[in-house]
Chain A
C-alpha cells in the first residue's frame, strides 16, 4: 500500500468520474493532434506536389520583351545568337552551393518547323530530365527512345491526324510518332517534342537552348538564394523563381495552421476547465475522506500528491487515447482535404508531445483543487468527530 495504490483504487472503483475526466481531456488532446497532423500532412502534400509540379526556377535568355512562359516560342524566330543560352554553360548550374536541392535541369530549344504542309512548333528536350520533371504528362504510346522519334501534343495530333506509330515528315526528315501526349491544357498541346540534339539540328541552333527549367526539391529551401546563385554562375541570362502557386498554397496552409492553433487553444482550455471543475467537485465530495487521511497522519503534501497522482494517471491515459483518436480522425478527414494519398505514419514525437501536453494540462488544472484539498481542516472534514 502506497499513495499510488490509493490513487489507482480510487480511479478503478469510481470509473464514471474517471471516464468523464479522461474524455474531457482526451477531446482536447485529440483536437490538437488532429489539427497538427492535418497541417503537417497538408504541408507534406504541398511539398510533394511541388516536387511533382516540376520547375520552380526558369532560366531564359536576357531580354526585356521575353515572356516567361512558352510564349517565348514566339521569339524563336527573332532570336539573336548571343541572346540564346549556350548549352555548355548549363553544367555551371551544378556548381552552385545549393546544388543538392536541384532535382532536375531541363533545357529546351524551341522553334517553328514545317511538318508536312503545316508549320508547327518543335520543342527539343533532354528526354530524361523533361519526363522526370513533367510527371503529369501522360503519353498514349511510347516515350521517345530513338533519334527519329517524336511525341506530339494533343492539339497537333488532332490537327495533323497523328496517332502513335504514324510517320511524319519534319523539315524534310522522316520521323515516327512514338506517342501522343494527352490533353494538358497548356502550350504543350501545340508542340512536337523531340530530343534536344535532333531539334537543335532541325532548327539550326547547335549547342543553343531557348530556356531552361530547373526543379528545386523542397518546399522551404531558399529559392531566392538559388536564383541568386544561378545568376552568379550564368551572368548573361534571366533567372526567375516561379513561386506563385507554392506561395499561395503555403499561405493557405499557414492560415489553416493559425486557425487550427486558435481552435486547439480553445478546446484545450475547455478540457482544462473540465478537469478543474471535475477535480474540484471530486475534492469537495471527498472532503470527509481527506479528513480521514489527515487524521490518520497524512501530511498536507501527501494529500496533494495523492490528488496530483490521480490527475497524472488520468492525464496520461487521456493523452494516449487523445493521440490515437486524433490520428484516426486526421486520417479520416484528410481524404476530403487533398486528392493525394499522403501516407500517415506513427509520429512518436507527436505522441510524446500529446502525452506531455495532457500531463501538463491535467496537473495544472488539478493544482488548485489539490492545494484546496490539502488545506481542508481535518475537523471540518470529520464533522462527526
Chain B
C-alpha cells in the first residue's frame, strides 16, 4: 500500500445561495520518499487539498489514509496527536510565534510531549543546525530575515522527525535567491528520504519535484512523474 492513499476525495462548501465544489473526486497514491508538487491556479483547490491532507478540515466525501491510518475516522483530539506525530507543517507566511525565540518556536511541537526539557532543547538545536541556523537560536522571529524565518519554520516541521512534511507555498514571500536556498534545503531533506508534499503555483519550483500534479477546478488535470534526479544527473 502506498504511504498516502486518497480515495474519491470530495469537498464542497455550501453557503446560502450556492454550493462550491472545492475538490471533486480525487484519487491519488503517493509513495514514501517522494517529493510531490501540487500546482494549479488560485482557486483550483490546492489549499483545501493540503488542509484535508493535514487533518485540519473534514472532507465531504472520501477517505485519506496516511501510513494506513484513516485520518477522518479519528476523533479530533486523536487527529491532533496524529498531526503531532506524523506531520510537519511549513506555512506560507512562516507562522512563527512572535513572542518565542527561534529555539522555542522549533520546540513547539514538543511542548505537549513528555520529554525532559534538556532533550527537547537538544532536538531543537540539532534541527536548527540542520537548516543552518545554529547561530540564531536565541533570536526572536522579528530579529530574523525572511529566509531565516522560513528555515525556523522548516526546522519546526522537522523537529518531531515526522514521516510527512506538508508545505504550503513556502517560497511565496521570499526573493528569488532565498527561494532557491529554501528549495535546495527541501531537496536535500528529500534526498535524505523525507516525504514532502508541497503546494505552490511557482513554476520555478517545478524542477525540484519528482512528481507534479496539476489541479484545475478541484480535479487532477495532469499528473507527471519525473525521472529520478540521480538518474537524470547521470544521463
Contacts and interface: CB of A to CB of B under 8 A. Distances in A.
Interface of A: 1-3, 5-6, 9-10, 12-14, 288-289, 292-302, 377-379, 382, 384-385
13 contacts: A1-B120, A1-B124, A6-B100, A9-B99, A10-B99, A14-B99, A292-B108, A297-B109, A297-B160, A299-B81, A377-B57, A384-B93, A385-B51
B214 interface: no
Interface in B134-192: 140, 156, 160, 168
Given A13-B99, A288-B95, A296 B76 contact: no
B57 A9 contact: no
B175 to A, nearest CB: 19
B57 A1 contact: no
A298 B112 contact: yes
Contact of A382 (B91, B98, B156): B91
Contacts of A13: 98-99, 140
B129 to A, nearest CB: 17
Interface string B105-128: 001111110000100110010000
Interface string B57-88: 10000000000000000001100111111010
- Of the listed residues B104, B112, B124, the one surrounded by the most CB atoms of chain A closer than 10 A to its CB is B112
B99 A1 contact: no
B117 to A, nearest CB: 7
B117 A2 contact: yes
A288 B91 CA distance: 12
B112 A5 contact: no
Contacts of B2: none
A379 B84 CA distance: 16
Contact of B111 (A5, A12, A295, A379): A5
Contacts, number: 98
A300 B76 contact: yes
A1 B168 contact: no
B108 A293 contact: yes
B80 A298 contact: yes
Contact of B109 (A2, A9, A288, A296): A296
Contact of B51 (A14, A298, A379): A379
Query: Shortest 5 CB-CB distances between A and B: which pairs?
Result: A297-B84, A1-B107, A13-B99, A297-B83, A299-B80
Most chain A beta-carbon neighbours within 10 Å: one of B54, B97, B98, B107: B97
Contact of B47 (A292, A302, A385): A385
Nearest to A292: B95
B68 to A, nearest CB: 19
Given A289-B97, A295-B89, A1 B110 contact: yes
Contact of B112 (A9, A295, A299, A382): A299
Interface residues of B, number: 39
Interface of B: 47, 50-51, 54, 56-57, 76-77, 80-85, 87, 89, 91-93, 95, 97-100, 104, 107-112, 117, 120-121, 124, 140, 156, 160, 168
Contact of B95 (A6, A298, A300, A382): A382
A382 B100 contact: no
Given A5-B104, A385-B51, A385-B56, A292 B97 contact: yes
Nearest to B100: A9
A interface SS class: helix
B36 to A, nearest CB: 17
Nearest to A1: B107
Given A1-B108, A5-B104, A379-B51, A296 B92 contact: no
Contacts of A293: 108
Contacts of B77: 299-301
Given A294-B56, A298-B84, A384-B92, 18 more contacts: A1-B110, A12-B99, A13-B98, A288-B95, A289-B97, A292-B97, A292-B108, A293-B108, A294-B83, A295-B56, A296-B84, A296-B109, A296-B156, A297-B112, A300-B77, A302-B112, A382-B56, A385-B91
Contacts of A288: 95
A2 B115 CA distance: 9
A5 B107 CA distance: 10
Contacts of B47: 385
A43 B194 CA distance: 74
A298 B80 CA distance: 6
Given A300-B77, A385-B56, A1 B104 contact: yes
A3 B120 CA distance: 13
B89 to A, nearest CB: 5
Nearest to A302: B112
Contacts of B82: 297
A6 B56 contact: no
B10 to A, nearest CB: 17
Contacts of A5: 104, 107, 111
B91 A1 contact: no
A12 B112 CA distance: 20
A308 to B, nearest CB: 15
Nearest to A303: B80
A385 B112 contact: no
